[in-house]
Structure 1
């Protein structure tokens, strides 16, 4: 009788309090294990949104499975995961790769699918595409949250963590707002005054602020004290404006310094800049985009005889054996890599049909979630109506009615927002995923005829790293183009072996 673990994830703290999603997933997986004769040895329960950083229970499960894999008796060690469906297990493609390295069996119970280490490559590819689609759906939910944050910005409310010298608090209407910190705000104001005199460096101002008790927080462990001070001194938030998503808004918060003082600080900063970047007279398509495969330095472009463009290593680390290379050679090899993202028309059509069919199951699950939320909304409304009748009859006081009804209406507003986010996200994520596949298939055709600027933009979108060595260009695709490239290679391999990939995938979908 095989051993297994179950992994359950809910998407919010509210779901944890309601208990609906947790209990439903656990009951489904336990019943499945009972029917299949599987012994459950551990349960990992995760309460967190897919967009939030860190999943401690997922990490704990990976550690447990790795420890099991190191056991001496591999016939009895746990090598199976039971999970409701794809988007409950994976947050991104890195999670998918992590589990793939463990060589475990994954039972996707609601999808009636079992992914094992010896599964066919086409099955793994389609599973990777489903992971990609789940990620697309989560990103669309995130877009709705971003819209809410932009709306706050338009109202003059800073929609994120308050800068040093301010605090985040709850306003009477329930909104998060920013107010001055009575302890730190005066010190921050003095930092601007100190720097405006021109007598102190940023390091000195940082140390002076620390001496006055200001806890200068670093964005990362690699940030220097100078970098933290510089970020504060150039932040327009302190004179009453802020920038959110490249747009400037007038804040509703209280400024710590005047606009004139802030301008003076910027002038002192500008006067201290003694070096300026030199701009190249000509823009090269691949300059500083490729690294040398021998020494790791960047390749830069150089014009020869006013006609020919060559690329060579910067030799920053010393002598390098890599010779010059013509731009035309790099251009052709980049185009080849872009063409490697293209499915043939038959396979692309097959994948499009598969994804649209699999969307029907996902649509059903989401409709169930929306229906549940709508039922909860109506239940709260009935409670408000009954309580209002009790108030009219004198069975409850006006104060009690006002307090409870406001709690219920606040919960209704939360439910309505969640319903709207699901409905809006569900409208486009699958279409956008299919459009992404079609875009990838057209990348090779588009690349050759583009301008220098457009080529760089396309390469930045599709590739994460490029290296050149021994007359060969090696690239790494960004997500999700890495999954698409893998799928194209698998399709080509099956076609060379005489396997009709499209018929095979359609047959598996029907099964």
Structure 2
């Protein structure tokens, strides 16, 4: 009676599927072998699965079928490495023991090896050598993959799925790369800009995304995104930071500002939740320095000092009364139309002087960028030709990548400063001219942003509300005469635009 046979064909990579180890090719060789041996094929098992993994679902099913079969069967594989590449695989040890007990036979067709109860010591040794070679081959592949990935990381290539805001693509040359997602990228930027103002909690950002973009995201995603340096140009691999080679979505300065806001929340954990109050956390008591707290009483919102440091006759103020005073401040910031046009014209003249300076800086940075890129190319050639060691290469490479990262950040800052001056000056003038209307029509969060943008040292002393206007808004509050607007023009000339860019975009766009 002919022996019954079970055929096992396996691949683990796309390359194997397309080469001579493809599943159909293996099965064809095994069928031919069984025909020559006069074996009766009772089962053909063909599947994709790693032979080096501890979790092998398909393989386990085959083992169970072989071990539980009543009759003696021959398990036929193309090669030993089609069965396993792990010398410590207990499942293979089970098959080996069953073969020595004459309960099954193991046939490795292309290797020319047959394991039965009659094999000699030499044949056992050959099988162990085949197992060792299979494991060595697998380990060598693993080492090559690790080295390739390490080299990619050093080149600033991200080898995993890109974070939200980016998109993994294949370029026209067939190379995999990462680009900024045209839709989600600006949304990620908006998330950072909103949080950096300090006026938006994670929940308010989530609500804003749902309301304005129809996007529902968990709070955990927002928190994780705000901590991810990938967005400004740095990737983290196994706890180590590397500059990546993809376009940043935000600036390093904006990222640092977000981290500062997060750190301030950790130092002062919020004790209140629920209804948002316009002035919560924005005012202090001028007598004792404690925060002015809101409280609902008989359907109205009142603000008062907690007097934890001792009673001092603190007054209670209705929210409407405080809002009325704040509206008066914003009314005073209105810019007369003729003055607005005059300042705008003078700013345009000032812009021409900035263009030449900007272009000179740009050329210097581009020249430095090319110089470092050439040094990186030469460094790689030195490594290939053995003029430097791997450790020396890694050290010099990291230094050069840090230098080119600094140059890239300088280029970005230069672009932003140029853009911020032209755009933000217009935003600022719009804000000053329309601040009253904006405040009246805004939601609570936007009102808080406006107040934090314009005012500082906001406090209540006795029955009086005291405040200071931030520059250049302090100039706007006194713009009744032309000579005062000349001071305002000078303030606009020297003002740090980058600080207000993100805040003003949130308010005015």
Q: TM (normalized to structure 2)?
A: 0.41
Higher RCO by CA contacts (8 Å cutoff, separation 6 or greater): 1
State the structure with more CA Rg: 2
